[in-house]
Structure formats: structure tokens, C-alpha cells
Amino acid sequence: MTVPGTDTGTDTGTDTRVVGVLGVGAVGGALAVRLSLAGHRVICLARVETAAAIAREGLVLEWAGQTLRVRPEAAERLAEPVDLLLVAVKAPDLDAALDRVESPPTVVLPLLNGLEHVEVIRARLGRRVAAGSIGRFEAYRDGPARIVQTTESAVVTMASADLSRDDLERAAAILESAGIEVRIGESEKAVLWEKAARLAPLAALTAAAQRPVGELRDDPALRAAVEEASAVAAANGAPTAPAAQWAIIDAMAGSLTTSTARDVAAGRPSELDAIVGAVVRAGRRLGVPCPTLEELLERCRAQ
């Protein structure tokens, strides 16, 4: 195992794979470091400035009291096959990012928030796409090549309507070799809605109120929004109990906010439409009213 704080070597016990990471923000950067430390060949795909910074400085992850530094490959375009392509860009950047994938990966695992991106990626990259989500994870980028992870662990959940169980298990094994917990879900809808049913209410209210989770748990709007999102999920064939969503929200650190809230506050393009808008659109399509989510969405858009 690589000694924390040094450049990575290779773990000779690892079944080495080639992993592309499209989008080297908080999620992509943290996973790229962990996968490099596990001995895999990692290719970070990013805009020219970020790729140059990674090539020059390496990639650093501050995590669990350690400074982990690796030197993965960095490129603007994926010009060769990879065993696994992690898509970790934010929704507003997805179309432009997919233009950088020139060679078909064996398995594509998007870790974006929202509901509608899987079909967008599938239309561009073919049927080798799984639905994925990452939970129990909070991090932020502190510079183009430096990630700070504030949670101890992460869990990735995946499912696919097209890939075989063996395909999913091979992709899971790559992540598990880097110490990431992986679960294979029952269906793509179940994987996406399990997170969206709480993230849409949290993203909407933290962005609208610009307050952390601990100050919002007693807000009736949050409870109403969770009920609405859960009802839409059930109507879409992915039942999720509001009580189960509340158990997760109650366990969150009080200081936690969302990247959507941070982006809205800073005036940057956000995932508001991809997360909250997608739930509202699904509700309209399925005949499930979402008045609280719609009102919060309009409040955020007016900021």
C-alpha cells in the first residue's frame, strides 16, 4: 500500500485495470486518488487548465487526517479503451464532457445527481451504461488538483438494465479494491430515486434558504418536500419510504449543506434543474403534485 503523503506506487496484489475519470471535481478527484493508490492506471479527463495542473502537481486528497498524493495520467480526451469510465461532472457540464470521450469504455458508471442523465449518456456512449449514485460522501475541491473529503467513507450503488451481473460485479471489484463500499441495486430507477427522493428536497431548501441541514430539519417545507418526492418515486415504480429518508437526513451532520446551495450562492451554474427540476417534471408526467418543490424551485431561480 502506498504511504500517505507520497507519490503513488503500485500495489502488486492488485488486479490492475484502466479507469477513466471524466470530471475531476470533488467526487471524481477523490475516487481518482483512491483508485491510483490501489494500483490501477487512472486517466483523469478534464479541461485543459485542470489537466495541466494535475500533470504538473499531481492530485492530492486530504482525507481522514492524511494527505494522499498521486500522479495519475491527465488528458483532455479519452483516446483509448478503459475498463471503467466514471462520469463525475456536474449536470450543466455533461454534454461538453461527453465530447471528450472518443473511445468506447467497457462499462460507464455515471455518479451524477438527478434522474435524467443516464439516458443522455446512453444515447452518446451506447448501452454499456449503468445507473449509479454515491452516498455517505461529502467533499469539496480546494484548487484544481486538491480535494478535501470531510466524511470518512463513501458507498456507491449501481444497477443496469443492459449490463450483465458479471459486468456490474467486475466494475464493483475495481472500486472495492480502492476501499469503496459498493452495492448492486435492484433496478436503475431504485438506484436513482433512493438518493433523489431526499436530495431534491435538501438541494431545493438549502439553496433557497442558504442554511445548513441542521437548521432546516424542523422546517415544515422540508418534510412536505420529502413526502412529495417519495410519492413521485413510488408512482415511477421505485417506492421509498419517507421515514427511511428522514432517518438518513436526521443522521446527517448539522453543518452539512449541498453543492447546489453553494453554487446558487456563488452565482455559478448549478444542478438545481437536474435534481429538483427532474423530480418536478416526473411528478407532472405521472400526475403527482409537487407544490412545495415547485415553489422552492422558483424561489431558487429568482435568486
Relative to beta strand 131-135, strand 155-159 is: antiparallel
- Residue 19 grid cell: 479507469
Rounded to an integer, what distance in angstroms lies between the CA atom of residue 1 and that of residue 14? 10
- Residue 8 grid cell: 503513488
On whether both 168 and 38 belong to a single domain, the answer is yes
Q: Of 294, 270, 298, 271, whose CA–CA distance to 282 is shortest? A: 294
Rounded to an integer, what distance in angstroms lies between the CA atom of residue 95 and that of residue 93? 6
Spatial contact of 159 and 191, defined as CB atoms under 8 Å apart: yes
On whether both 114 and 163 belong to a single domain, the answer is yes
Q: Is residue 8 part of a domain?
A: no
On whether both 83 and 202 belong to a single domain, the answer is no
On whether both 26 and 148 belong to a single domain, the answer is yes
**Number of domains making up the chain:** 2
Q: What angle do CA 209, 248, 250 make, to 5 degrees?
A: 60
On whether both 195 and 103 belong to a single domain, the answer is no
Task: Please give the DSSP secondary-structure letter assigned to residue 273.
Answer: I
Domain of 55, CATH number, reads 3.40.50.720
Q: Is residue 1 part of a domain?
A: no
pLDDT in single tens digits along all 303 residues of the chain? 232 333 444 444 558 999 999 999 999 999 999 999 999 999 999 999 999 999 999 999 999 899 999 999 999 999 999 999 999 999 999 999 999 999 999 999 999 999 999 999 999 999 999 999 999 898 999 999 999 999 888 999 999 999 999 999 999 999 999 999 999 999 999 999 999 999 999 999 999 999 999 999 999 999 999 999 999 999 999 999 999 999 999 999 999 999 999 999 999 999 999 999 999 999 999 999 999 999 999 999 888
